[in-house]
Amino acid sequence: MLEALLPWQEVMLVNLLKAHESRPMHAQLWVTPVAYGASRLAQRWLLARMCTAASALRPCGLCDDCRWVLAQTHPDVFWLAPLEAQGQIRIDAVRELRSFVDRTSARHGWRAVIVEQAHRLNEHAANALLKSLEEPGSQTLFVLLTDRLVDIMPTIRSRCGIWHLPAPDRVDALRWLRGRVDCSEQQLNQAMAYARSMPEQAELVLVKNWLPMFEGLWSGIRQLTQKRTHASIVVSGCKEIWQERLLTDALMQWVEDLIRTHSVLDSPEPESFLHHPELYRDYTELVVRQPRAVERIWEIWHRLVRVRDELDGNIQPALCYERILTDFTALF
Ligand SMILES: [Zn+2]
């Protein structure tokens, strides 16, 4: 099914198409925040170039090219993505890509390769892809998607035109969200905070009714600091949000708020500097109870950064979160 693009993606698509017209590049690397919807944008970029029945920005969704692109079965398009949710892209998949690149086009005379989560290419796969980027054959376009530019091999980076696709403006995002979900302004703002201002993820939080799960997390942390519960219980109570990669962000925000409260105790306007001002009383209580803990709290923050970076690998997230929460709340 042809889904509508989000307003800010539509603007981006126009820019990408114009740029390609004026200065064609055989490889592009799109750097987007998680939850930007980059693969949907890539799909629309393909449709804009392939649909023969309608205009570039309004593909018909019904012709053969459109239907094949939407079903990811187009003979001139190769989608490369990790097989498992948290796995790597391995060399076998890139070998298939090589034989795709060596074939001739079935339809329009050019072919496209989309690599989702390109930072998950393992070393061998990345080197094999590099070969294809160096000898792309005639009329093959590569689009690599990532949210982690630092993890893309410099040799691959140097062969691509790099595009940074920013998170949408907050006012636009809130307007879009208001039209989609029926809830209070406070709920909208909370969901946006948990989703790091990515509106589609904020929508997911609201539609799935996960706000109470975050509240459960905060009260779980409160009880942990009072030694009234166990970290495993708190973590298992928010399984859906750690599976959606929202838990690390939430915990990082909590820790950041606590560190900020350390430096600005007794503020009349906690909302001006906190992710979650509604928790200001909790933060203050902990800061007063353990005023010297700030360096240890920083250590926790760095551990969370590592967990976030390793979520793509083979770590056991639940266990990691449990350990971090246990160590963290033991500080108080
Ligand atoms: Zn079409």
- Per-residue pLDDT in tens (0 to 9) along the chain, 332 residues: 777 788 888 889 999 999 888 888 899 999 998 778 888 899 999 999 889 887 767 889 899 999 999 999 999 999 999 887 668 899 999 999 988 988 888 887 789 999 999 999 999 999 999 999 988 777 899 999 999 899 999 999 999 999 999 888 888 889 999 999 999 999 999 999 898 888 888 999 999 999 999 999 999 999 999 999 999 999 999 988 887 778 998 999 999 999 999 888 777 788 888 999 889 999 999 999 988 888 899 999 999 988 887 766 656 888 889 999 999 888 88
How many angstroms separate the alpha carbon of residue 46 from the centre of ligand 1? 11
How many angstroms separate the alpha carbon of residue 316 from the centre of ligand 1? 43
According to CATH, the topology of domain 7-164 is Rossmann fold (3.40.50)
Instruction: State residue 258's pLDDT score.
Output: 93
**Which runs of E-coded beta strand occur in the chain?**
27-31, 77-80, 111-115, 140-146, 161-164
Is the Cβ–Cβ distance between 142 and 27 less than 8 Å?
A: yes
How many angstroms separate the alpha carbon of residue 44 from the centre of ligand 1? 11
How many angstroms separate the alpha carbon of residue 254 from the centre of ligand 1? 47
Q: What are the residue ranges spanned by the domains of the chain?
A: 7-164, 210-329
Helix segments in 199-315, DSSP class H: 199-207, 211-225, 231-236, 239-243, 246-263, 280-289, 294-310
How many angstroms separate the alpha carbon of residue 298 from the centre of ligand 1? 53
Helix (H, G, I), strand (E, B) or coil at 289: helix
Residue 236 forms beta bridges with which residues?
Answer: none
Burial code (b: 16+ CB inside 10 Å, e: under 16) for 233-250 equals: ebbeebeebbebebbbbb
**Which runs of E-coded beta strand occur in 124-213?**
140-146, 161-164
Instruction: State residue 314's pLDDT score.
Output: 55
pTM of the entire structure?
Answer: 0.77
Instruction: State residue 240's pLDDT score.
Output: 87
How many angstroms separate the alpha carbon of residue 54 from the centre of ligand 1? 6
How many angstroms separate the alpha carbon of residue 70 from the centre of ligand 1? 10
Burial code (b: 16+ CB inside 10 Å, e: under 16) for 158-187 equals: ebbeebebebbeeeebbebbeeeeebeeee
How many angstroms separate the alpha carbon of residue 61 from the centre of ligand 1? 5
Is the Cβ–Cβ distance between 38 and 32 less than 8 Å?
A: yes
How many angstroms separate the alpha carbon of residue 24 from the centre of ligand 1? 23
How many angstroms separate the alpha carbon of residue 36 from the centre of ligand 1? 24
